Structure 1
Amino acid sequence: MKASMQFKKKLLVSVIATAVAAVAMPTMVMAQSANATLRGKATPGANVTVFNSQTGLTRHATAGQDGSYIINGLPPATYRVDAGPGTEQNVTLTVASTGTLNLAAPATQGPSANAANATQMEGVSVAATTLEEVKTPEVGQTISLHQIATIPQASRNFLEFADTVPGMVFSVDAKGNTSLRGGAQNNSSTNVYIDGVSQKSYVKEGGVSGQNNSQGNPFPQLAIGEYKVITSNYKAEYDQVSSAAITAETKSGTNEFHGEVFGTYTNDAFRNRTPIEESTGRKVDSESKEYGFALGGPIIKDKMHFFIAFEQKKFDTPISVVPNSINFAGDVTPLLPANVQSELGSANLNFDEKLYFGKIDWELTDRDRIEISTQVRRETQISGIGTGTAPSAGVNNENHDTRGTFKWAHSGDSWYNELILTFENAYINAFPLQPGNGYTYSWQPDTNNPTIITTGSADPRATQTKSQEGPSISDQFTFNDLEWHGDHVVKFGYKFKSIELKAADAAAQSPQFFYDVNPTGVSSQPWQVFYASALPGTSGVAETTARQYGIFAQDDWSVNDHLTLNLGVRWDYEVNPSYNNFVTSQRVLDAINSPNPYAGAAPGSTYGDALAAGGVNLNDYVSDGHNRHSFKGQWQPRLGFSYDLFADEAHVIHGGAGRAYDRNLYDYLQTEVTKQALPQTTLRFNIPTHPCDTTSATCVPWNPEFLNGQNVLQNYLVGGNAGQEVDMLNNKLKAPYSDQFSLGMSNTIGEWLTDATVTRVLSKDGFAFTLGNRYPNGAFFQNGSQPWDYPIPNVGGLILGDNGIQTRTTQVLLSAQKPYTRESGWSTSLSYTFSHSKQNRDINEHYSFDEPTIGDYPFITSNAVAKHRFVGTGAVDLPWGISGSIKLTLATPLPKNAAACYGQIEPNGSNCMPMAATPSGAKFLVGGDIWGYRDVDMQLTKDFVISDDVKIYARFDLLNVFNWKNYADSDYLVNWGSDGILNSRPVAVNKKGNITYLPRTARFTVGLKF
């Protein structure tokens, strides 16, 4: 290497290292590659060649003066690596990893890595060493194809296996809806990358597009090769994520045709009864069907291949319909009307999903690889039924997602570049199952009027349309051969996305009438109605084209054989015209500045004066279309290290610290527009049993004509504004983020991989809506009640949107894995998570009306994560072509987070205080009554070999073997106490309520592989 070139490289690395350390260089979001990197030492000047005989992929690198070599952009697979006679080795690289392979010694010396596993290469079974990535600060694990194929499974969602990683929780609720959460943050803060492309949801919750309250899968499982779960301290490539990042590699075709066909079936005859079915003595008909196929093969041998997959799921999921738990009230069911009681018990949730995937890869040259892929999701689902909602008030959801990706990777002598172009179109349509009025029954003795149950047509806010559509371009450039006090791999990346976001928040239909329930029965007249009405000349659809920008820089610096530093920084920026250019309505401003009409207001004072006295600075919320600017502070240093004690990858200390920004969902930002165009009106009826303040414009006499529906109500207030809702967002909204810290040690002991890590994650600036209404003197509480009847005069209730939700979580993550090898015939994984987490608001609840501001909420024990959680799996090859596996999951009960009302007046005037309480658990071998979740799953598979290339298999899964009832935390029975005395055990499980996961269920699968 010439001296001038060496000097330039040294200078470049110096500049990069200085910039990263100073956090002064803009870094950017880039689609995280799922490809692997191979690095190590060989004879100086040697030509290192990697070759995949199944696809023909070939890559080359030249070892430097110190013998080091690096090859980037390798799809996870088995390769033959050659650096000259006597150095040939067969190795397997895993997804999104960096494997170390030294080739200077004879092949028999091999790397210190996982035991050899049999792999087909050129039609011959050969031994290939799996190169496990251990020198990394990232906290997480890789889910192998063997785990996906063998671990018992309930959902056929490939993300379900992430449940085996410490710090992760995959849950299936009573409605069959699935969710994945990392640490104590909500599922919206996760992100999934498939072949390096983000699947982020920009409008609705759920983290992944289409995964909010869905029984469906984001991607066909047959098309997933393997994936990596990173719970914290990811590198700078990862964007729009503040908790767990999952990066998956899809399958590709090879030089031989291979395929698979499967079908899975179960129904109510093969499951135990749910708790509500046990109490009623009747089992609801239910059925589950899953089937699909995959096929891959060559188009041009060694050059071009294809892979296609299709999967369909059809479910009828049983659900328990029970009233909400009411404090002090006990069982209120007998007080409800007979027609309402008839809807309680068991019901069914229908679900149908079709998933498609197609991919073509082309090895254009030994330096260029092109991939073109598409994925399609079509889904319909009945939802909303369950606790507090009767079947008549259910919602029909349509969930569609279509994506296309073009990827071009080019390898130079000492550099690598990956260009990705994408397009996505995802939308959700939701509408009530039946038209007409809705009826909500509320508990009158509680001044907060908590809902018991809703029947009739679903709430007008159930009618929603949310979508995201648009293209993106991203590029990542990697320098492989940079030397300066060690070896550097330096990456730069950028991304631009133009995404059209749409949101319709409600529809002018299905008014909801509220009826009082008390110990004497049900009121004959409603005390309140809620409905939406369209303002003439406006649209109830918010629409904007957001522009997302990002850049990043990452330096993976091998200082020596012991120490590796990972220094990264990124910067994200988003422009959302819907938020930035919004103009507050003049009618709202006029109403705020008008005389305060409420009793007790000082003469001449305005409603704005009451807001100011109550701590609401209107200048923070009133927008003139020019005083809002996109947040530019999303600088995210990502710093990590690993120290290999003996330079053999057997004992490695690792740690890191970094910041990761997520984004504010458009579902929150659009409310200013949609609430203004489609006002959502709440009127109180002045009836003898539930009077209201007749001086308020929202208090009107009851008229039976109102029951004639939407048109009567909408015409009632023609030309008026009373009873509406006004949403105002802070003019200086920031993006939510988390600061992540970790320190741990990984060990390789024989075939075992172990890790012990302590993490600390502080998440901040989560979004929350609070109640802006104030009493005339500025107070938020009077007589223990919020100022619900004191909205903006002649307009409606004021809702303020701010940043402020926080979590503070410390976790101890312990894991031990023995990966599967054909030689040993078995595998196991053990993971334990201890969590100590506090939060100032339920992470799944962004409406926060119990305190004046989000800053007034105390930090209480989080209901997002169990204190103790253990997951163990094991798989074994048995005689006669049989294999089996088992999974054990244990967790302590989740706390209840709620406003505790027990007759105690707090210093701020409230009679309720946000509080956490944990119910008693159940037994499992050790620990006594401490377990809130207990589950054992098992599966057996029998292979019938037809020929060398064809086999039929039959699989039997038995889920929740012991039929343990894991009662849902959403159905906890609550009695905080009374007369100012807090109960010592205020929370208990509801043994007639819904359960998490499934009752004991048998599933039967048959399939063909060829």
Structure 2
Amino acid sequence: MRRQDIVQRLGRLLLFAGVLAVLGGRGLVAQTTTGTIRGYVKDQNGAPLSGAQVQATNVATSVARSTTTGSDGSYVLPGLSPGTYDVIARHIGNSPARRRIVVQIGATLLADFALPAGAVTLAPVVVQAANPAETRTSEVATNVTPLQIQQLPTPSRNFLDLAVLAPGVTVTEDRIGGVSRTFTAGGQPSTSVNIFVDGSSLKNDLTAGGVTGQDASKGNPFPRGAIQEYRVISQNFKAEYQKASSAVITATTRSGSNTWTGSVLYGYQNKSFVALDSFQRATPKFSKPAYSRSLLSASVGGPIQHNRLFFFGAYEGNYQNRSNLVDFGAIPAGYPALTAVNFPQYNGNFGSPFRETMLFGKVTYAASSTSSAEVSFSNRHETDVRDFGKVNCPGFVCAFTEAVNYRQNVSIGQVRYNMFKGPWLNETKVDYSRFRRNPSPNTPGLPAQIYQWNNQDHVIGSNFSTQDFIQRRVGIRNDLTYTGFRAHGEHVIKVGASFDFVTYDVFKGNDETPRFYYRDTVTTRGLYGYATPYQLIYGTGNAKLKKNNNEFGWYAQDDWSPSPQLTINLGIRWDFESNMFNASYVTPQMVIDTLTRYNDSLPTPLDLSQFISTGSNRKPFYGAFQPRLGFSYALDPESRTTIFGGWGLYYDRSIFDISVDETLKLTHPTYTVSFADPDSTAKPGETTWNNSYFTADKTTLDALAHTSGKPEAWLIGKNVKVPRSRQWNLGVRRGGGGISLTYATRSLQGVDGLGDVFAFPNALNIPHHPANDEKTHIVANWVMDVPYASGFLFSGLITLGSGFLQDVGCPLRFCGAGYERGGFTPERVGFIIPNAFAYRNVDLRLAKDFPNISGTTMRVTLDLFNAFNYQNLGCFDTGSKTNLSFGHASCVVSDPRRLQVGAEYTF
């Protein structure tokens, strides 16, 4: 039997086992959204106390969880919602003891109790040591706390901003002219990451960006006011996390408590609060474009029924008004046709508004002492009129009519039911999500005209394309934890399975706006003098595609503690998708005939059997087995210092958009029509220009386009690899001082470069190479009361980087000589350490609280971003070291100093 057949049969067996787990499992609260307290209960002499009761009570809601210790005195309380808990240990014949512990998402905290001999129930409760720090994990992870979320300066209230606190994680700059906010880690692209909010995956299956709504949006993926805290795991995450070969973020949302609380916040920034960068200062008579941003947030939460039923709701708004300058510059003289266009009528400053509104609501029900339920819903809606002037129009000057209106909507609904009894813990979750990405022309119905002079395109008319991507997902997940198994130590065993039923609705009307190209002279074609176009590019046909995809995942994990000092994490995960690469696609005979006819003429002929799809020979990938191993060992009895490490295999997925093109490039091809110059007879391959062709009418254009050219073929191999990475790490962690030193590596397979879609079929001149990632990246943060100034809070965030290496010249596989990978290093300057950093940024916040009656507070905030106005240079000339301008920068990669004022009222 072939290895592939064995893998497929084993995969089907696991699929069946997963169905049984989902339908019949007793369930578990997954570690993706909760924390764990574990430890030992002993007497005053250090002897274990068997049968002791350990109870953890949530201070905010009075909801309690309890368990009993085993024969060795050990206990485990998994599945605790993040928050503050009073943990009490009781044993007959001993005085009880209590500790107040803050449980963080994804963290395992150690809390040992020593109960002195004495009376049982009426003895006073003893408050023991302060909250422990998490040191006993093999993950390379950073918890972003509620205090940091609330107090650290971030420009746009995007909760992703603070992911930079995790080592190896980079977040896209918040910039006034920015169009995208994503995060990356380990040198991999943003498509390799994932975010979980309350256990629901926000993975974008369709397009780039990794997270729904983030591939081309400056907005926030989730309302920050609804996020309680989150955990960034940049290396060696456990088997319960899926669809990521890089880093994951797991966040938990806020819940109501037994006290009604709320807040209203407003932040404001405009152009007078923004300094100039060095390039703007060097521009004569530079005038700041119009700009303002208002950030609004409101939240409220409290009890519907004390100790049982709670509500929390949040609203977040990000409303920006900016303008882009359109300036076509000097128009070449001597061309009456150019004069007739009247380019000056398109010049000026035009508005580029961005609007984002986010809502979140959650109801939590403590049904009994052994079960709870939760229902939540969130919605994000945004519009963004952009991509005109010279903003996001590289190499172009675009009129306002060329702007795109980028609409997005993300809705997520979730129902969770948790059950816990004795050593068993259960979570069952059902969720529904809908993501829509819909960029379209802001001024539709106009043919586009592109006039070329001075090596630049000057564009008037409508935006080129309309797209409408919709991803619908129904997900079912069940996880099961058992803490009662003890063999050669204590075990926390977890198994779980998930099913996602996904539908992709795609409309990809690329190039449906006809583009007419004009220039003075076209080499080998003739003299046009801008009077008539020399070329038309136009897409037409059926731009729709609808496909279904079933996604399944199954995992098993054992956190085994053979001794109080040693914990070993053993896990295995398996993932499967039925239609990641559009498995039912059939290569048209026309494409097969063309490939067969010309294959021998290629520099390196293709193995056509790999690229011709019959609808049944492109099998789903069954081999996504992912073993994961980790350990932590405490060097002292208090577990203050630990050695930790891990190794794992992590499979990601390829976005479906790449499979879409295989179909739509044939059913909705883009045609190129060449027009003869106005004073010549049309040669073969050319069409004589007629003024009736200048239209946006599809009937006329379709008839014209079909007389010229053939569709483009997009080929995907039948054995295409799924992206995966291997990760290992080794480090030492010291609690108390919060010091951690980790060495981590990650290797990636399934693509050629870290930004390419697939590996090239011909690997000639494509050597293996490291990513040009930043070698050194330092982030520091603080939150402190201002000494001798009552009510003042001072916080800040410092980010330093050594700079990204950049390639010199053109890659060897395209150009050859003169290429040097990573051959340019940006100039480094000092920040405490001389000549160490190419990137420097310091963000500061000063807040003043004004207490009011009945426990309400008014706060005034002053944020200063890039406080020292550091000029972080970019856009370096790295074309050739012989260029006089080699290494010269032509832009900055971060905005200059910005001030933001705000106020917040809390009750």
TM interval, short-chain normalised: 0.7 to 0.9
Counterpart of 1:151 in structure 2 is 152
In structure 2, the CA distance between the partners of 1:485 and 1:499, relative to structure 1 (3 Å rule), is: same
Say which is worse superposed, 929-938 or 147-156, in terms of deviation. Answer: 929-938
Post-superposition CA distance 1:602-642 (Å, at most 9, x none):
xxxx323324x632222211112111111111111111111
1:531 to 538, 542, 562: 538
Q: Tell me if the contact between 1:857 and 1:914 (Cα under 8 Å) persists in the aligned partners.
A: no
Measure, in 2, the Cα distance between the counterparts of 1:158 and 1:507: 33
User: Aligned ranges for residues 758-837 of structure 1 at < 5 Å?
Assistant: 758-765=743-750, 804-805=751-752
Distance 1:39 1:105 in 2: 16
**Ranges in structure 2 where 5+ consecutive residues have no aligned partner:** 1-9, 23-27, 42-48, 118-126
Selected match of 1:412 from 409, 416, 421:
421
Q: Residue 898 and residue 105 in structure 1: after superposition, are their counterparts in 2 closer, same or farther (change >3 A)? A: farther
In structure 2, the residue matched to 1:35 is 34
Match 1:307 to one of 303, 312, 326: 312
Q: Deviations over 1:820-878 (max 9, x none)?
A: xxxxxxxxxxxxxxxxxxxx35x2x6599xx9856643456635x32222222222102
Q: Is the 8 A contact 2:39 2:112 kept in 1?
A: yes
Deviation at 1:222, TM superposition (A): 0.9
| 1:242-391 mapped onto 2 (5 Å cutoff) | 242-273=245-276, 277-278=280-281, 279=283, 280-317=285-322, 349-385=352-388, 386=391, 387-389=394-396, 390-391=398-399
Give deviations 1:208-264, integer Å, cap 9, x for gaps: 111112111111111111111000100000001111111111111001101111111
Change (3 A) 1:256 1:709: closer
Q: Corresponding residue for 2:122?
A: none
Structural mapping, 1:10-49, within 5 Å = 33-42=32-41, 43-49=49-55
Q: CA deviation at 1:529?
A: 2.9
Residue 891 of structure 1 corresponds to 801
Of 923, 944, 955 in structure 1, the residue corresponding to residue 850 of structure 2 is 944
Name the residue aligned to 2:657.
667
For 2:825 and 2:357, locate their aligned partners in 1 and report how far apart those are by CA, in whole Å: 40
Asked if 2 retains the 8 angstrom alpha-carbon contact of 1:543 and 1:578, the reply is no
User: How much has 1:127 moved relative to structure 2?
Assistant: 9.2
Question: Which aligned pairs between 1:248-647 and structure 2 lie closer than 5 A?
Answer: 248-273=251-276, 277-278=280-281, 279=283, 280-317=285-322, 349-385=352-388, 386=391, 387-389=394-396, 390-392=398-400, 393-435=402-444, 436-440=446-450, 452-453=456-457, 455-457=459-461, 460=464, 462-507=465-510, 509-515=512-518, 524=530, 526-534=533-541, 539-576=542-579, 579-593=582-596, 606-611=597-602, 614-647=604-637
Contact 1:438 1:455 in 2 (8 A): yes
- Contact kept, 8 Å, 1:354 with 1:379, in 2: the verdict is yes
CA–CA distance in structure 1, aligned partners of residues 721 and 181 of structure 2: 29
Shift of 1:361: 0.7
Please give the TM-score of this superposition, normalised by the length of structure 2: 0.86
In 2, Cα distance between the equivalents of 1:897 and 1:846? 20
Separation in 2, partners of 1:964, 1:332: 34
Residue 657 in structure 1 maps to residue 661 in structure 2: no
Q: Which runs of 5+ in 1 are unaligned?
A: 1-18, 108-125, 324-330, 445-450, 594-605, 766-803, 806-839
From the superposition, tell whether residues 549 and 948 of structure 1 become closer, same or farther in structure 2 (CA, over 3 Å): same
Partner of residue 1004, structure 1: 901
Q: Find the aligned partners of 1:311 and 1:97 in 2 and give their Cα distance.
A: 28
1:550 is displaced (CA, Å) by: 0.8
In structure 2, give the amino acid aligned to 1:100.
L
Question: What's the TM-score once normalised by structure 1's chain length?
Answer: 0.78
Partner of residue 61, structure 1: 67
Question: Given that residues 807 and 819 in structure 2 are in contact (C-alpha distance below 8 angstroms), is that contact kept between their aligned partners in structure 1?
Answer: no
User: Does residue 208 of structure 2 align to residue 205 of structure 1?
Assistant: yes
Aligned Cα root-mean-square deviation (Å): 3.5
Find the aligned partners of 1:322 and 1:638 in 2 and give their Cα distance: 56
User: 1:830 is matched with which residue?
Assistant: none
Map of 1:790 onto structure 2: none
Aligned pair in 2 of structure 1 residues 428, 700: CA closer, same or farther (>3 Å)? same
Shift of 1:203: 0.7
- 1:246–1:648 distance in 2 versus 1, CA, 3 Å: same
Post-superposition offset of 1:590: 3.5
- Preserved CA contact (<8 Å) 2:156 2:295: no
C-alpha change, 1:670 and 1:897, in structure 2 (3 Å) is farther
Determine the C-alpha separation between the residues in 2 that align with 1:135 and 1:97: 9
Cα distance in 1 for partners of 2:112, 2:422 equals: 20
Asked whether the 8 Å contact 1:321–1:388 carries over to 2, the reply is no
* 1:882 equivalent in alignment to 2:792: yes
Which residue of structure 1 lines up, in the alignment, with residue 889 of structure 2? 989
SS of match in other structure, 1:235: coil
2:771 to 838, 862, 886: 862
**Structure 2 residue identity aligned to 1:484:** A
Shift of 1:196: 1.2
Change in Cα spacing, 1:464 to 1:519, as seen in structure 2 (3 Å) is closer
Q: How much does 1:526 deviate?
A: 4.4
Once the two structures are superposed, residues 687-743 of structure 1 have per-residue CA deviations (whole angstroms, 9 ceiling, x without a partner) of 599999x76x5x555556544445477344465572432212111222211111111
1:927 Cα deviation (Å)? 6.0
Q: Measure, in 2, the Cα distance between the counterparts of 1:317 and 1:918.
A: 35
Q: 8 Å contact 2:495–2:556 — kept in the other structure?
A: yes
Aligned twin of 2:712: 725
CA contact (8 A) 1:869 1:892 kept: yes
Output the CA distance in 2 between the equivalents of 1:755 and 1:311.
35
Alignment deviations for residues 388-408 of structure 1 (CA, whole Å, 9 cap, x no partner): 342533211110011100111
**Cα distance in 2 for residues equivalent to 1:912 and 1:439:** 37
The C-alpha deviation readout for 1:346-392, integer Å capped at 9, x for no partner, is: 76532101100000111111110111101111111123341334253
Q: Is the 8 A contact 2:493 2:556 kept in 1?
A: yes
1:974 to partner: Cα distance = 4.7
- Are positions 1:932 and 2:834 aligned together? no
Give distance in 1, aligned partners of 2:680 and 2:731: 60
Aligned equivalents of 1:61, 1:874: Cα separation in 2: 37
How far apart are the structure 1 equivalents of 2:849 and 2:34? 32
Distance in 2, Cα, partners of 1:128 & 1:271: 48
For 1:151, give the aligned amino acid. Answer: L
**Residue identity (%):** 29
How many angstroms apart in 2 are the aligned matches of 1:527 and 1:147?
A: 58
Instruction: Number of aligned residue pairs: give it.
Output: 845
Is the Cα contact below 8 Å between 2:213 and 2:435 reproduced in 1?
yes
In the alignment, which residue of structure 2 is the partner of 1:747? Answer: 734
* SS of match in other structure, 2:468: strand
3-state secondary structure, aligned to 1:675? helix
Counterpart of 1:455, as a letter, is V
Task: Give, in whole Å, the separation in 2 of the partners of 1:251 and 1:654.
Answer: 31
For residues 626 and 565 of structure 2, the distance between their equivalents in structure 1, rounded to whole angstroms, comes to 27
Q: Matched residue of 1:726: which SS? A: coil
Match of 2:121 in 1: none
Please list the CA deviations of residues 406-445 of structure 1 after superposition, one character each: whole Å capped at 9, or x if unmatched. 111111211111111000111011111223233446689x
Paired residue secondary structure (2:131): strand
Deviation string for 1:308-361 (max 9, x for gaps)? 0011110124668799xxxxxxx9998997977997897653210110000011
1:192 maps to 195
- Give the Cα separation in 2 of the matches to 1:517 and 1:854: 41
SS at the partner of 1:188? helix
Structure 2 equivalent of residue 166 of structure 1: 167
| 1:938 and 1:958 in contact (8 A); partners too | yes
Assess, with a 3 A threshold, how the Cα gap between structure 1 residues 712 and 359 changes in structure 2: closer, same or farther: closer
Cα 1:932/1:846, change in 2 over 3 Å: farther
Asked if 2 retains the 8 angstrom alpha-carbon contact of 1:479 and 1:491, the reply is yes
- How many angstroms apart in 1 are the aligned matches of 2:738 and 2:877? 43
Structure 1 contact 685–702 (Cα < 8 Å) conserved: yes
Return the match for 1:953 from 841, 859, 872: 859
Q: CA deviation at 1:518?
A: 9.3
8 Å CA contact retained: 1:637, 1:658: yes
CA offsets 1:968-1005 (integer angstroms, 9 cap, x no match): x4x4445426xxxx559734210xx4x43422111111
Preserved CA contact (<8 Å) 2:808 2:824: no
